[in-house]
Amino acid sequence: MPYYHPYRPNSGQHDDQGHPYGPNERQPTDGMGHNFEDRANRFSHRINETFEKRAEEWSKRADSSLSGFGASLMGVLSDALSSAGNAVSRWARGSQDLTFPEWRQRMDRKLQNGSQLGYLCMAIAGGCLAFGFGVTALVMFILSAMGPEALHLSYNEFMVFPILMGIFTPFTAGMGIMTGIGVKKFRLFGRIRGYLRAAGDWVCKISSIARTTGYKPAQIQRELSRAITDGKLPGAFLDPDGNTLYFKEELFAAAQTKKAQEQTPSSQQQASGVSALDEFLQNGRNFLAYLQYCHGRLEPNADEELTEMHRNCTVILEFIQNHPEQLPRVRRFSEYYLPTTRKLLDTAQGLGQSDGENAQNIRRDINGILHTLNTAYANLYDTLLQDVSLDVSTEIDTLEAMLRQDGLAGGFSSDFGAGHTQTTDT
């Protein structure tokens, strides 16, 4: 029975053009009456429709997903930028605009993320390197102890192990020191952060921090002072007595100003008086030595005036030394009269042996002012004595009155009245 092959004829029959099938020949089927070409076309069409539908559906889903993802991503980016902007604005604000808890939190993070984290990395790196170098040095030591015979090596080959041991041992020690420093600094900044968290306000007592943290006040003072000196706590100040911690410069300055104002005026005056007294006495002694130097260097009649001036100045200096409270009364004597007198004497000595008319006039004028100055210095001393005499008379009168009230005067007037009257008259 003839069968129909889809590609070549099997019956030997051809059409007019040489094709195996005539124009009315039956096309090959699948045995169920379905044409293979039609079925392939329908199958291909169905696949294309399905693919187009799926592609359209996937495109819609992709657009929807991408739009949602884009919106979500933009929302996240917006929130992140907003948070970053808020953070930057907070950091841009000065400490004046921050509350103490905000400033303390900022400083705590700075210490943690900066100094403490750095020293932690230093300790970890040093520990790892120390361990590696230490193990290597130990292995080299063991191999060196075994000897070349046990290792079946020549002497030159064996010497590598002692050399490597000598190289890795110092590295191990150095990395160990690095680890120790890192651990020590890490703990130090951990304690400083604890001190900072224990502070309750811009001004805090060291004793309060000690009670909260459990550390000794001396240790807290020492560690905080070191941190402030190194710039780890900017804006912080420790009171000179070490009892108060300030986290604002203006508060520290105000406290120091107030403390200076609260000092007793008497103590300030006493301290300033002692210093001024020493300066006055030193200047006076220098002037007396200068007067002795001028003897014999001026005209002969000038030496008498210099001797008299030396005696007047000496008694004034001795009087002020015994009565420091009178120092303000001789301030002009010390600050103007003595320097001016010395300047005039320098001018007179600068004339040398000149005998000109102008030189003689200058010497005469200087000798005349020396006499005037001696009179003034003697009057100054007498004035100082009068004030002391009045004070002594007042004290004697008061003492006499107290003796009478207590019935102890006796013959005071008859025994000391004449002396009293004489002292008053003087």
pLDDT in tens, 199-239: 888 888 888 888 888 888 888 888 888 888 777 887 788 87
- Domain assignment present for residue 337? The answer is yes
> Which comes out higher in pLDDT, residue 407 or 332?
332
| Same domain flag for 106 and 251 | yes
Which token pair is 166? 């000598």
| Same domain flag for 229 and 163 | yes
- Domain assignment present for residue 119? The answer is yes
Query: Are 345 and 294 spatial neighbours (Cβ–Cβ below 8 Å)?
Result: yes
- Domain assignment present for residue 303? The answer is yes
Using pLDDT thresholds of 50, 70 and 90, give the confidence band for residue 38: low
Mean pLDDT of the chain: 75
Using pLDDT thresholds of 50, 70 and 90, give the confidence band for residue 195: confident
| Same domain flag for 229 and 164 | yes
Query: Which of 224, 256, 288 is the last residue in one of the domains?
Result: 256
- Domain assignment present for residue 69? The answer is no
Using pLDDT thresholds of 50, 70 and 90, give the confidence band for residue 135: very high
Q: Which of 59-63, 106-110, 421-425 has the lowest mean pLDDT?
A: 421-425
Q: CA–CA distance from 31 to each of 1, 36, 238, 303 (Å)?
A: 15, 10, 107, 162
Please report the pLDDT score of residue 420 as a whole number. 46
| Same domain flag for 244 and 141 | yes
How much of the chain, in percent, has pLDDT values that exceed 70?
Answer: 71
> Which comes out higher in pLDDT, residue 8 or 319?
319
> Does position 120 have pLDDT exceeding 50, yes or no?
yes
Please report the pLDDT score of residue 131 as a whole number. 92
| Same domain flag for 313 and 222 | no
How much of the chain, in percent, has pLDDT values that exceed 90?
Answer: 8
Over range 31-42, report the average pLDDT: 59
> Which comes out higher in pLDDT, residue 100 or 379?
379
pLDDT digits (tens, 9 = 90+) for 83-94: 555 554 555 555
| Same domain flag for 110 and 214 | yes
Please report the pLDDT score of residue 96 as a whole number. 53
Which token pair is 11? 């019956």
> Which comes out higher in pLDDT, residue 221 or 56?
221
Over range 252-266, report the average pLDDT: 68
Structural domain count of the chain: 2
Q: CA–CA distance from 115 to each of 94, 129, 182, 313, 328 (Å)?
A: 22, 21, 10, 66, 57
| Same domain flag for 213 and 287 | no
> Which comes out higher in pLDDT, residue 306 or 402?
306
Please report the pLDDT score of residue 24 as a whole number. 46
- Domain assignment present for residue 147? The answer is yes
Query: Which of 190, 221, 256 is the last residue in one of the domains?
Result: 256
- Domain assignment present for residue 166? The answer is yes
| Same domain flag for 225 and 350 | no
**pTM of the predicted structure, to 2 decimals:** 0.41
Q: Which of 234-248, 362-376, 394-408 has the lowest mean pLDDT?
A: 394-408
- Domain assignment present for residue 156? The answer is yes
42/356 Cα distance (integer angstroms): 147
- Domain assignment present for residue 180? The answer is yes
Q: Give me the domain span that covers residue 278.
A: 269-391
| Same domain flag for 241 and 304 | no
Over range 79-104, report the average pLDDT: 60
| Same domain flag for 353 and 384 | yes
Using pLDDT thresholds of 50, 70 and 90, give the confidence band for residue 273: very low
Please report the pLDDT score of residue 74 as a whole number. 56
Please report the pLDDT score of residue 394 as a whole number. 74
Over range 311-327, report the average pLDDT: 89
Please report the pLDDT score of residue 124 as a whole number. 92
| Same domain flag for 231 and 127 | yes
| Same domain flag for 232 and 284 | no
> Does position 132 have pLDDT exceeding 80, yes or no?
yes
> Which comes out higher in pLDDT, residue 100 or 316?
316
